[in-house]
Amino acid sequence: MSGRRIFARPARFAAIAPYLWMVLFFLVPFAFVLKISLSQTAIAQPPYVPLFDLTAGWEALRAAFAALSPDNFKLLGSDDIYVFAYVRSLTVAVTATALLLLIGYPVAYGMARLPTRWQAVAMVLVIVPFWTSFLIRIYAWINILQHDGLLNQILLALHLVSQPVVWLSTDTAMYIGIVYSYLPFMILPLYATLAKMEPALEEAASDLGAPPWQVFWLVTFPLSLPGVGAGVLLCFIPIVGEFVIPDLLAGSNSLMIGQTLWLEFFTNKDWPVASAAAIVLLMVLLVPLLLYERVQKRQLEQGR
Amino acid sequence: MRKVSRLSRFNIASLALGLAFLYLPILILVIYSFNASRLVTVWGGWSLRWYHEFFNDRAMIEAAWMSLRVAVSSATIATLLGTLAAVALSRGERFRGRTLFSGMLYAPLVMPEVITGLSLLLLFVALNAERGFWTVTIAHTTLTMCFVAVVVQSRLGSLDRSLEEAAMDLGCDPVRAFVAVTLPLIAPAIVAGWMLAFTLSLDDLVIASFTTGPGSAPLPIRIYSEVRLGVKPEINAICTLVIALIAVVIVIASLASKLTSSQGESAAPL
């Protein structure tokens, strides 16, 4: 009996229900996004011109396909608001991911060097904030950063500033919020690779006379690259489409694409343009998404 | 073999700072929820005033109740589907569409929520479904079953397969071997998966905003619209209650995994 695939046949049937669920509620919806992104805006409920009706027959269907228009995509390309929003989203995501790596790496490194017993404790401590609500964590920062909040009180008391600093509605506040919310996602994959690393390698390098920074740069860092890659993807992709953090913490003069999409959808009720924006966002993220999938798959299915 | 402490002062400092950064804001939020004064600037002494206010706020209570119902139902369905998916991926033979299947399961983990929310809403509109409790539940199930699948799959991957093989050699059919041997071993991961799905659903603002209908708003949507208007101590109280609920959930999860895990190792929450 082949040992490795003992459950092979019945396990295959286990896939049926989740498979159908994901096709219906994850894959099929994208077809609708695509369809509506190609249709015209209308003042109606729902606010777009229905493209085709399967009951209308073949002729109507052909006419509908002829009416598909890339207008919404042209609008996205020609209107500065959208172009700026995509550029800003990417800039924010790159900056925030770099900050996360810079802050997360030393923490993960410290964790990996703890005695084994304490490593488990440290890991739980890093994971627990991830379980508490996202919205609550952003709200916690509004408490601290507001005009008469704790941070300004401390700065005033220490005479570091003479009057309250405006923190809210600035990019600084937004970056604080993003780094705070995504830090566990950066630390955990980094820690996972750093903890598996053979300490003898670093010791050998320093025994051979390398100063600590060289040991780090020539041995530790290159060996931790898989963790760096996983952490970067895990943070970068969702940050590009982030809505809540920039909406609550950043100013409203330059929007990220997630905010523009939200605005088009809820305020302007322009579903076709919002759908087109979503499609473009998906295209922008396609390469990192595929990379992430490969990383995730390799991680979970190694040993098969 | 030399046995030196590998922990440098820099390591300790970065760990301490990192953890302080993660915990201080939440701690401050909790402390100020007990502040008797309306102003954040003034400490007016300890008080339960804002909790009282919350329990008299019918709209908030209703929102919280809806969130709890959605979280429990979506987490339960997601745990079922996610566990099945994990078993199929780590134990099943290759089947047609396997790559698509794992792709569909891993993509939502990082997919921007605005995309997931928008696409689901367009589906519900096309299906002419009445939006409310069920549409939000379905949306949350779709997102959270992926997290359950990952948690359970990583546990299945670390499992010693000789136990399953032994059961089969002793005459169990695959289904019985799974129920009698594998299921108890992955139970901690299943419990952790449920808890994770529960908290993710309780937390979600973006997907719920897209998929809910008029008149029924889960708690995060209510909190969000209040937060946009500024800091209110009542919100601090609600947030503290949510944190307390999640803390209870985590404690139960870790106790459950201690009790059921024969090897005494705890299930990875992520």
On whether the CB atoms of residues B78 and B141 are closer than 8 A, the answer is: yes
Q: Does the beta carbon of A99 lie under 8 angstroms from any beta carbon of chain B?
A: no
Band (B265; pLDDT cuts 50, 70, 90): very low
For B17, which residue in chain A has the nearest alpha carbon? A107
Task: Find the range with the poorest average confidence among A229-238, B76-85, B124-133, B175-184.
Answer: B175-184
The per-residue pLDDT for A41 is: 66
Band (B154; pLDDT cuts 50, 70, 90): confident
φ, ψ (nearest 5 deg) of residue A66: -65, -25
The per-residue pLDDT for A73 is: 78
CA B140, CA B207: separation in Å to the nearest integer? Answer: 8
Amino acid at A30: F
Residue B98 belongs to some domain of the structure: yes
Sort out which chain A residues have CB atoms less than 8 A from B106's CB and list them: 292-293, 296-297
Residue B138 belongs to some domain of the structure: yes
Instruction: Look at A106 and B14 and tell me if their CB atoms are within 8 Å.
Output: yes
Q: How many CB pairs under 8 A join A and B?
A: 310
Task: For residue B118, give the H/E element and its range.
Answer: helix B113-126
Query: Which positions 65-94 of A are in contact with B (Cβ < 8 Å)?
Result: none
Instruction: Look at B110 and A234 and tell me if their CB atoms are within 8 Å.
Output: yes
The more confident residue out of B254 and B180 is B180
Mutation target for A interface from B15, B141, B148, B225: give the one with most A CBs within 10 A.
Answer: B15
Residue B234 belongs to some domain of the structure: yes
Structural domain of B214:
47-260
Band (B76; pLDDT cuts 50, 70, 90): very high
Q: Is the pLDDT of residue B117 over 90?
A: yes
Query: Which positions 131-160 of A are in contact with B (Cβ < 8 Å)?
Result: 131-144, 146, 148-150, 153
Q: Does the beta carbon of A206 lie under 8 angstroms from any beta carbon of chain B?
A: no
Q: For residue B126, give the CATH number of its domain.
A: 1.10.3720.10
Q: Is the pLDDT of residue B124 over 90?
A: yes
Q: How many Cα atoms occupy the beta-carbon half-sphere of A294 within 13 Å?
A: 7
Sort out which chain B residues have CB atoms less than 8 A from A25's CB and list them: 120, 123, 138-139, 141-142
The per-residue pLDDT for B270 is: 42
CA A89, CA A240: separation in Å to the nearest integer? Answer: 5
Residue B183 belongs to some domain of the structure: yes
Residue ranges and CATH numbers for the domains of chain A are: 70-301 (1.10.3720.10)
Write down the residue that tokens 């367009």 correspond to.
Answer: B122
The per-residue pLDDT for B172 is: 80
pLDDT digits (tens, 9 = 90+) for B185-235: 888 889 889 988 998 898 899 999 999 988 788 999 988 888 888 778 888
Out of A3, A25, A113, the one facing B6 most closely (by C-beta) is A113
- The whole-angstrom distance between residue A199's C-alpha and the CA centroid of its chain comes to 32
The per-residue pLDDT for B201 is: 92
CA A223, CA B67: separation in Å to the nearest integer? Answer: 44
The per-residue pLDDT for B33 is: 85
Q: Is the bond leading into A246 cis (omega within 30 degrees of zero)?
A: no
Instruction: Look at A233 and B110 and tell me if their CB atoms are within 8 Å.
Output: yes
Out of B103, B154, B246, the one facing A132 most closely (by C-beta) is B246
The per-residue pLDDT for B228 is: 82
The per-residue pLDDT for B269 is: 42
CA B93, CA B106: separation in Å to the nearest integer? Answer: 19
For B159, which residue in chain A has the nearest alpha carbon? A303
pLDDT digits (tens, 9 = 90+) for A120-145: 888 888 888 777 778 888 888 888 88
On whether the CB atoms of residues A219 and A201 are closer than 8 A, the answer is: yes
Out of B32, B175, B250, the one facing A131 most closely (by C-beta) is B250
**Which is nearest to A272 in space by CA: A7, A20, A35?**
A35
**Number of structural domains in chain B:** 1
Residue A36 to chain B, least CA–CA distance (Å): 8
The more confident residue out of B6 and A26 is A26
Residue B251 belongs to some domain of the structure: yes
Band (B9; pLDDT cuts 50, 70, 90): confident
Band (B84; pLDDT cuts 50, 70, 90): very high
Q: Does the beta carbon of A276 lie under 8 angstroms from any beta carbon of chain B?
A: no
Could you read off the pLDDT tens digit of each residue along chain A, which spans 304 residues? 444 445 566 777 888 899 999 999 999 998 888 888 887 766 555 666 555 555 555 666 666 666 667 777 777 777 778 888 899 999 999 999 999 999 999 999 999 888 888 888 888 888 887 777 788 888 888 888 888 888 888 888 888 888 888 888 889 999 999 999 999 989 989 998 898 888 888 888 888 888 888 888 888 899 899 899 999 999 999 999 999 899 999 877 788 999 989 988 888 888 888 888 898 888 888 888 888 888 877 777 664 4
The string of DSSP letters for B213-245 reads -TT---HHHHHHHHHTT---HHHHHHHHHHHHH
Out of A4, A199, A241, the one facing B161 most closely (by C-beta) is A4
pLDDT digits (tens, 9 = 90+) for B29-64: 888 888 887 776 677 788 888 888 888 888 889 999
The per-residue pLDDT for B96 is: 75
Residue B269 belongs to some domain of the structure: no
Instruction: Look at B25 and A22 and tell me if their CB atoms are within 8 Å.
Output: no
